[in-house]
Amino acid sequence: MLYYNTHYPAAIIMTLNDLPNQKHNHKQCVSNALAMAEQVCLERGVQLTPIRYQVLELIWESHKAVKAYELLDRIKPLQMAAKPPTIYRALEFLSEQGFIHRVESLNAFIGCRCSNAPHEQLLLICKNCQEVEERTAPKVMQALSEEFNDAEFIVHSKAIEIHGLCSQCAASVATDLSD
Amino acid sequence: MLYYNTHYPAAIIMTLNDLPNQKHNHKQCVSNALAMAEQVCLERGVQLTPIRYQVLELIWESHKAVKAYELLDRIKPLQMAAKPPTIYRALEFLSEQGFIHRVESLNAFIGCRCSNAPHEQLLLICKNCQEVEERTAPKVMQALSEEFNDAEFIVHSKAIEIHGLCSQCAASVATDLSD
DNA sequence: AATTGAATGTTATACTATAACACTCACTAT
DNA sequence: ATAGTGAGTGTTATAGTATAACATTCAATT
Ligand SMILES: [Zn+2]
Ligand SMILES: [Zn+2]
Ligand SMILES: [Zn+2]
Ligand SMILES: [Zn+2]
């Protein structure tokens, strides 16, 4: 069953490695992400139900990592019956489909900016503005592969999470100091 | 105040990148780790109290990641009054001093094998045997540095956690399949 | 019309972590 | 000596994160 059959323009594959924290057209981020999710669900024959769609929309309200119980609070006006399992089930689905990533070190979630295809990524997590930037970092992934070969380790999944200051916040801290 | 003044032999700096999951003298791992912790605490003028020492010992019972409440259960025979804060405080201390690492993706902890000096590391986490191997992976760290430069990101801390099968478990799975 | 299965509703509970305040006791400064 | 200080611990309570288990709904199939 289809809940959303409006025809979005073909999803433009967002270029990773352009900084989300810089000024950008965030409405475009969101509509791309939602359109892509709908498209992918159609292709896979899985259901992007209203709850799942709304949770994805809520996650995409910003590039900040968002917590499950925050999502729960924010979906309640739309889904009066929402309880923790409501959110966790939606998160599980969105995560399986690759539309979001879990940030292990924050117990939180972010929208994925390249969910049209499986991919490896690392996360740059700003302690100041809480925005998370996803990067494919092919050289890092290559070095990792070599490391796994050395260790004879068979990889199933990776969580590469870097905490610090994004370029914007680093710049404004520098400005503050020079004042 | 000193709780432990027995003189251990000077802590031998354990070589990282020898696989913990392979057969090895684990008593040596433990005594090295405990001796190193005592030595470092002496040098830094911080207290390795009985509770902290016992928690570190419990964490070192194996190379598996261990959870806070498991530690709580296991320390209760020794510390009847132990409650969650008992464990979490000890974990905080041990973590600050670099004697253990938190495994973010498991909400668990492992003993650090090179706690005599600050260092970067990645963790190879086996889904089969739950052992965690710490590796310095200098090439990966170098590639990461370059990535951070590109992103103009200022790093404070890293969590690089890889889930999969360790060499031992991969080998035994292969054996199982060929049977 | 009966069956199936995915999704959701509902209740309860498990698991993880910290806040806040009280108490102890070795150490220090008068 | 003695009062004060501060780190560590004891204690109670609660906040925050996540899932188990079972009931219900409803569109799609038989
Ligand atoms: Zn955006
Ligand atoms: Zn920032
Ligand atoms: Zn060992
Ligand atoms: Zn293993």
Confidence of residue A20 (pLDDT cuts 50, 70, 90): low
In DSSP terms, A64 is beta-bridged to A131
- What is residue A10's predicted lDDT score, i.e. its pLDDT? 37
**Nucleotides in D strand less than 7 A from protein CB:** 7-14, 16-21, 27-28
Q: What is the pLDDT of residue B21?
A: 59
Higher pLDDT, B119 or B61: B61
Residue at B136 is within a domain: yes
Task: Provide, rounded to the nearest whole percent, the portion of chain B with pLDDT above 70.
Answer: 84
Segment B136-158, tens digit of pLDDT: 999 999 999 999 999 999 999 99
Predicted local distance difference test score (pLDDT) of residue B23? 78
Return the pLDDT at A125. 98
Which residues in chain B belong to E strands, given as ranges? Answer: 100-103, 108-111, 122-126, 132-135, 154-165
What band does B51 get if pLDDT is binned at 50, 70 and 90? very high
Structural domain contains residue B3: no
* pLDDT of A117: 79
CA-based radius of gyration for chain A: 18
Token pair for B147: 């990535």
* Cα B52 versus chain centre, distance: 14
- The pLDDT value given to residue A67: 98
Record: contact A164-B142, CB cut-off 8 A: no
The number of folded domains in chain B is 1
Residue A157 neighbours by CB under 8 Å, 6+ apart? B162, B163, B164
pLDDT class of B167 with cuts at 50, 70, 90: very high
Q: Kindly indicate the confidence band of residue A2, based on its pLDDT and cuts at 50, 70 and 90.
A: very low
Q: Which of residues 90-129 of A touch strand D (CB under 7 A)?
A: 92, 107
pLDDT of residue A172: 85
Q: If you average pLDDT over every residue of chain B, what do you get?
A: 88
Whether A154 has its CB under 8 Å from any CB of chain B: the answer is yes
| Average pLDDT of chain A, as a whole number | 88
Question: Which two three-digit tokens encode residue A98?
Answer: 């690759």
What would the pLDDT profile of B5-39 be if each residue is shown by its tens digit? 333 333 333 444 445 656 789 999 999 999 999 99
Ligand nearest to the CA of A63: 1
Chain C positions with any atom < 7 A from a protein CB = 6-13, 15-20, 26-27
Domain assignment present for residue B54? The answer is yes
Domain that holds residue B105: 10-178
* pLDDT at B178 (0 to 100): 56
d(CA B35, CA B42): 11
SS3 of A133, please?
strand
Question: What pLDDT is recorded for position A80?
Answer: 96
The answer to whether residue A156 scores a pLDDT higher than 70 is yes
pLDDT at A114: 81
**Between A38 and B13, the higher pLDDT residue:** A38
Q: Are B101 and B121 in contact (CB under 8 A)?
A: yes
pLDDT at A6: 36
Domain membership flag for residue A157: yes
A48-88 pLDDT, tens digit each: 999 999 999 999 999 999 999 999 999 999 999 999 999 99
Q: Is the shortest CB-to-strand distance from B85 to strand D under 7 Å?
A: yes
Domain with residue B121: its CATH number is 1.10.10.10
Which tokens in the block code for residue A141? 């992934």
CB B68 within 8 A of CB B61: no
Residue of A104, A140, A167 with shortest CB distance to B152: A167
Tell me, yes or no, whether B135 lies in a domain.
Answer: yes
| pLDDT exceeds cutoff 90 at A135 | yes
- Which residue in A139, A159, A161 is closest to B147 by CB distance? A139
Task: Give the type of residue at B150.
Answer: D
Do the domain assignments include residue A34? yes
Lay out the sheet containing A122-126: strands in order across. A132-135, A122-126, A154-165, B154-165, B122-126, B132-135
Residue A5 lies in a domain: no
Band of residue A23 on the pLDDT scale cut at 50, 70, 90: confident
For residue A83, tell me if it sits in a domain: yes
B126 has a pLDDT exceeding 60: yes
